[in-house]
Structure formats: C-alpha cells, structure tokens
C-alpha cells in the first residue's frame, strides 16, 4: 500500500535531503532530514509521490469551500505556518471514507501540502513542501510526513491526525474553562464601531435574559472614529466619549451576570496613534497599509513587552474576563524584514510569535486561570491552540453554508478547544423560520449572536430564547460528543454528535436519518418541510417549531417514514418508557 517512489525536489545545491520510512499501525511515517553545508536561510524543498486516482471524490482541508480535485498543474493546497492554517490535506472516496490523508509533524514553519490529478497517468500527485516562505538561517532541519491510506471514515483519519499532533508532536492545547463553552453576545455586526455604553448595557440586559452569558465588545472602544480601518489602533486607550469609564462599565456588566471580552488587533499600529512614532522602526516591512496602519515585528523584545503590558494592564485594571486577540496572521516576513538585525532577540518570526503568545498566556493566566482567549480563522492550528481556548469561524455574515461547514472543519481539527460560530445575524424583516436557520446551522459550535435584541420582532426573540435554551440543554452532547458528518465534498449534507445514548442530528438537505440511539434529536437545518427517518419503529416522536411550540407527536409505525417538520423545527425521537 505504501510502496511509493518518492522524489525530492530541491532548488539549492547547498541542501541535502534524505528520507527514512516506517509503517506503524498501517500508517506510513516518512522522516525528512535536511542538511545544509552552511548556515543560511533554507530555500524551498519538497517531497513528491503519486497514488492511484481510483475512487477519488473530493479534496478536504481545513479551509476549503470548493472540494473539487483539480489537475496537478493547478493543485489544491493546504498552506500553513504557525500563525495560519495547518499542514493537513486529504482525498476522500465516494463513500466518504479516507483515500489518502497527508500531514506534517512541524506545524510552525511555512509549508504546504498539495494534491492534484495527473491527466497523463490518472494518478493523484501528492507533494509536501517545506520552507515555502523565508525563515531564519539553519544548517539542519527534520520533520515527519504522516501518510494515512486506511479505508476508514474521513473524520476518523482527521481525528487521529489531531491526536498525533497532541500526543507525539507536543502540541498540547490550552485549558478550556466552562465559560468558553456558553453562548455569547458579540457586538461587531450589531454595533460595528458605533459603540455607546448605555446601549451596550441595554443589550447586555436583554441578551442575558435570553441566555447569553458573555458579551464581546469589539472594535470601536478605543477610538471615536467610526470609519472602520485600523488607523487609530495601537494606543489602546479608552474612548471615554463612547465608553465612559471602562472599569465601571465592566463592573455594571458583571452585575448583570455576564462576562466581558474585549477586542484587540494584536499587530496593528495606526498612523494616527500616539504610539506610531515610538514604534515606527519596529514594523514588519510591507505588512499593512502605508496610509492606514503597519504590523509590529514581535522579534523585538520592546514590541513583546509593550503588547503584554497592554493586555496585563487591561485585565488587571478593568477586571476583564477575556481578550479577543485578532489578526495574528498579519505577522508575515517580507522585504527588508528578511534582513538581519542585531537589535532583535529573535531572528525567527515563528519563534518570536511563540514567545509573544507564551508571554501573554503566562501573564494573563497568572491573573485569572480561567481567562478567555479567542482566536479566529485562519490562526487555528495545533500550535496556536496552545495559547487560546476559543477558536472562531472567520467572518461570514449571513452565510449559513460557510458558517456550518467551517464549524465542522474546526470541530474535526480542534480537539477539546471550544469552537465558536461566526456571529450569527439575519435581516430582522425575514421570517422567523429563516432567522432560525442561522442558529440551526451552527448548533455544533458555541453560538455567538450579533443582533440588537431590542430591535427584533417578538417572534424572533421567542425563537432565539428557545434555541439558546435548547442548545444549553444538549450542549454536552453537541460539544463533547463524537461529531461525524456526511458528504464532505458537498460541504456536508448531515452531521451528528453522539454522547452515550443520546444523539443530535442536523440535516442540511433533504436526506435520510438513520436512528441509532435511544434518544435522538433531529434539527431541520434545511429549507425542506419534512425529514425521512428509518429504524425508529415503535419509538415515540415530538415535533416542535422554531419557537419551541409542540406541533405534532405520535409513534413511528414503519421502518422508513417521512415526518412533516417545519423549516428550522426540531424532531425528538425516544424509546417508549
């Protein structure tokens, strides 16, 4: 099965690459060793091989929205580095099983995994490329390519890769407090930068009544400029015109019963900030917009100390419960930043990001061991999970398909780290069923909501209250159960999570649900008005609409039956007692 002819492709005559192959538990591990004749920045090198193109249906990696297998001259790539993505890519078979899954032990260096169809030979060309972006100089380097061709469900192959990263490669994830796994009210889509302390407190009172346990105050608290962009980032002083006294505001929110997370764009220093002149010699070249902002270079101790000091002061003085640390993926080496500077205490950008994140984590957990740290796509890999306990889907306002598919992708690759939806929002003039679909499609994540509750129609409020209550009732099944999914090549047609004898299934199109647990909840997250179930004979069922009202009940009398269920409704199937 693993009798490959490996080809080593190296651009530099200074570089020598060797391979050592071992098979363990039917998985191939290829140890890659690079040696250079002198201490220089490595040029890209890659390992290439081919597998049969039979029974190949689609490509999966943690970001893909188009799963088609492209020709090898236009590969599908899993691009990764410490602050973005992860080195994992998979070809899936027609039955949803794994055809070939490829991953790398080193998730920090810039790398990519590529897979494409060779039209001359009808084979899949696989390639693992290392040092795809410049890094620090080195003479030696080693990593392992993990190649899995077992005929197992695609998600099990991914789960085992994640366990390999955690147990064998040393990427242990951060502790996740229970508060990271409760519904949150995020103010970005509902307020954008137009923040106002009185309006925030009003929203907190209303959202708390509906079951949201944390509020995330986003961009705008630090500036009275509401034109978007990041020209006023970097000082991180409170705009009192909007927020008043931050400590007093946080105290008021705590009295309401909610925790408070505050947003920061970690790297950005705007041209209109007071700190611009002080840090203008500490920016990463070509890292921002010269008319708006630049990104700081964490390889300088002065930068890391400043950022850590800002966060430590904020958490200490304002009694914050967490930070939303944004734009970590904007730390990128380009231009003059590739040149050596003796004033840096790190020459490696990856090592400097590690140091920055480790310093932040150490400072903040010393203040509060349950501190909440949110990262979002694309910085969601095994390395960054060591420093944050919440991973959020990237911005996709109103996009049900993107939100649900990326949630499932993140759930498969994130171990026990809390996976959050992008903030759900909808047009308040839409039907309550369509509004409920936004929630129904994110149930396998911690829901973040970004709607002004006071402006919602009453039936939307009732729907939101019911869905949050339903989610809380089943949250251990939804978050802690084993998540499985069907049809990855189509961004999933159905997903389910099972814990003990209870399952929650979400259907995203018109398909059949096989009832396997004593208690099964089916969420109609599709636009269809019925669900087909099988193997539930003699079980009792209850159908609720999206506001939690019972609209039908009875006993299943046939092995296959179609049960009417309104869009975004819920079907509960249980064994007779």
Burial of 93 (0-12, 13-18, 19+ CB in 10 A): middle
Give yes or no for residue 290 having a pLDDT over 80. Answer: no
Quick check: 11 pLDDT over 90? no
pLDDT in tens, 425-477: 999 999 999 999 999 999 999 999 999 999 999 999 999 999 999 999 999 99
Region of poorest pLDDT, from 73-77, 537-541, 554-558: 73-77
Backbone region of residue 361 per phi and psi (left: phi > 0; alpha: psi in -120 to 50; beta: other values): alpha
Q: Facing residues of 515 across strands?
A: none
Average pLDDT over residues 512-538: 96
In the chain, pLDDT over 90 holds for what percent of residues? 93
3-state secondary structure of 398: coil
- pLDDT given at position 511: 87
The pLDDT, as a whole number, for residue 392 is 98
Q: What is the pLDDT confidence band of residue 291, given thresholds at 50, 70 and 90?
A: confident
> What is the pLDDT, as a whole number, of residue 372?
98
41-63 pLDDT per residue, tens: 899 999 999 999 999 999 999 98
Instruction: Give me the mean pLDDT over the 239-260 stretch.
Output: 98
Q: What would the mean pLDDT of 282-307 be, rounded to a whole number?
A: 94
- What average pLDDT does this structure show over 113-123? 97
Question: Which pLDDT belongs to residue 63?
Answer: 85
User: What one-character DSSP code corresponds to residue 257?
Assistant: T
Q: Are 419 and 181 in contact (CB under 8 A)?
A: no
pLDDT (average), residues 339-359 = 94
Whole-number pLDDT of residue 134: 86
* 104, β-bridge pairs: 145
Question: How do residues 386-424 score in pLDDT, each as one tens digit?
Answer: 999 999 999 999 999 999 999 999 999 999 999 999 999
pLDDT band at 137 (very low <50, low <70, confident <90, very high): confident
Give me the pLDDT at residue 375, please.
98
Tell me the CA distances in angstroms from 45 to 28, 125, 129, one per residue in order: 20, 16, 6
> What contacts 431, CB < 8 A, 6 or more positions away?
none
Average pLDDT over residues 206-234: 96
Q: Is 24 exposed, middle or buried (0-12, 13-18, 19+ CB in 10 A)?
A: exposed
- Per-residue pLDDT of 72-115, as tens digits, reads 999 889 999 999 999 999 999 999 999 999 999 999 999 999 99
Yes or no: say if 181 and 423 are a contact pair by the CB < 8 Å rule: no
d(CA 55, CA 418): 34
What is the Rg, in whole angstroms, of the alpha carbon atoms belonging to the chain? 25
Residue 204: DSSP 8-state: H
Show the DSSP H helices in 129-271 as ranges: 154-167, 188-191, 197-210, 240-243, 246-256
Share of the chain above pLDDT 70, in %: 100
Quickly list DSSP for 477-507: HHHHSEEEEE-GGGT-SEEEEEETTEEEEEE
Q: What is the secondary structure of 21-88 as a DSSP string?
A: EEEETTEEEEEEEEEEEEEEPPPPEEEEEEEE-TT--EEE-TT-S--PPPBGGG-EEEEEBTTB--SE
Look at the pTM and tell me if it is higher than 0.85. yes
| Averaged pLDDT score across all residues of the chain | 96
Which helix (H) or strand (E) segment holds residue 353: the answer is helix 349-367
Q: Please, are residues 147 and 3 in contact by the beta-carbon 8 Å criterion?
A: no
Closest by Cα among 434, 423, 421 to 460: 434
pLDDT of residue 576: 86
451: closest CA among 259, 206, 236?
Answer: 206
Q: Is residue 264 classed as helix, strand or coil in its secondary structure?
A: strand
Q: Rounded CA gap, 404 and 386, in Å? A: 24
Nearest to 402 by CA among 480, 466, 492, 327: 492
Half-sphere exposure of 392 (CA within 13 A, CB side): 25
Q: How confident is the model at residue 135 (pLDDT cuts 50, 70, 90)?
A: confident
Tokens of 92: 């899936």
Burial class (CB in 10 A: 0-12, 13-18, 19+), 432: buried
């Amino acid at each position: 099965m693993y009798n490959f002819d490996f080809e080593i492709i190296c651009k530099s005559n200074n570089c020598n690459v060797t391979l050592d192959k071992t098979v363990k538990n039917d998985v191939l591990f290829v140890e890659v060793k690079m040696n250079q004749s002198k201490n220089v920045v490595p040029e890209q090198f890659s390992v290439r091989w081919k597998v049969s193109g039979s029974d190949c249906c689609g490509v999966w990696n943690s970001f893909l929205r188009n799963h088609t297998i492209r020709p090898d001259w236009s590969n599908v790539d899993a691009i990764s580095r410490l602050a973005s993505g992860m080195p994992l890519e998979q070809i899936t078979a027609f039955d949803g099983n794994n055809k070939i899954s490829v991953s790398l032990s080193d998730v920090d260096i810039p790398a990519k995994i590529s897979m494409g169809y060779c039209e001359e030979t009808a084979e899949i060309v696989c390639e693992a490329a290392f040092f795809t972006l410049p890094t620090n100089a080195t003479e030696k380097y080693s990593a392992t390519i993990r190649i899995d061709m077992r005929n197992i469900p695609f998600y099990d192959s991914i789960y085992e890769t994640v366990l390999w990263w955690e147990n064998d490669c040393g990427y242990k994830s951060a502790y996740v407090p229970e508060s990271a796994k409760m519904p949150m009210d995020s103010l970005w889509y509902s307020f954008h930068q137009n923040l106002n302390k009185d309006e925030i407190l009003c929203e907190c009172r209303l959202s708390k009544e509906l079951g949201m346990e944390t509020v995330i105050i986003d961009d705008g608290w630090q500036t009275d400029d509401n034109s978007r962009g990041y020209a006023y980032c970097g000082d991180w002083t409170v705009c009192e015109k909007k927020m008043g006294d931050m400590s007093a505001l946080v105290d008021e929110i705590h009295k309401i019963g909610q925790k408070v997370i505050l947003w920061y764009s970690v790297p950005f220093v705007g041209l209109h900030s007071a700190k611009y002149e002080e840090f203008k010699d500490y920016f990463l070249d070509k890292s921002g917009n010269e008319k708006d902002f630049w990104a700081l270079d964490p390889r300088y101790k002065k930068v890391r100390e400043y950022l850590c000091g800002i966060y430590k002061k904020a958490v200490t003085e304002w009694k914050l419960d967490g930070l939303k640390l944004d734009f970590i993926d904007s730390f990128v080496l380009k231009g003059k930043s590739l040149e050596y500077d003796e004033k840096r205490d790190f020459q490696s950008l990856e090592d400097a990001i590690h140091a920055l994140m480790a310093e932040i984590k150490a400072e903040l957990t010393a203040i509060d061991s349950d501190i909440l740290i949110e990262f979002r796509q694309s910085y969601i890999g095994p390395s960054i999970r060591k420093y944050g306990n919440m991973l959020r889907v990237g911005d996709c306002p109103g996009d049900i398909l993107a939100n649900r598919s990326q949630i499932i992708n993140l759930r498969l690759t994130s171990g026990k780290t809390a996976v959050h939806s992008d903030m759900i929002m909808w047009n308040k003039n839409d039907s309550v069923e369509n509004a409920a679909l936004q929630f129904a499609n994110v149930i396998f994540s911690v829901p973040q909501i970004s709607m002004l509750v006071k402006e919602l129609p009453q039936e939307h409020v009732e729907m939101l209250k019911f869905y949050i209550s339903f989610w809380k009732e089943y949250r251990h099944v939804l978050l802690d159960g084993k998540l499985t999914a069907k049809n990855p090549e189509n961004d999933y047609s159905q997903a389910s999570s099972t814990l003990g004898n209870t399952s929650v299934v979400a259907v995203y199109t018109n398909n059949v649900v096989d009832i396997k647990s004593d208690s099964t909840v089916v969420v109609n997250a599709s636009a269809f008005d019925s669900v087909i179930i099988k193997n539930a004979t003699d079980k009792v069922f209850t159908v609720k609409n999206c506001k939690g009202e019972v609209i039908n009940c009875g006993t299943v009398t046939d092995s296959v039956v179609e049960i009417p269920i309104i869009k975004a409704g819920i079907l509960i199937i249980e064994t007779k007692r």
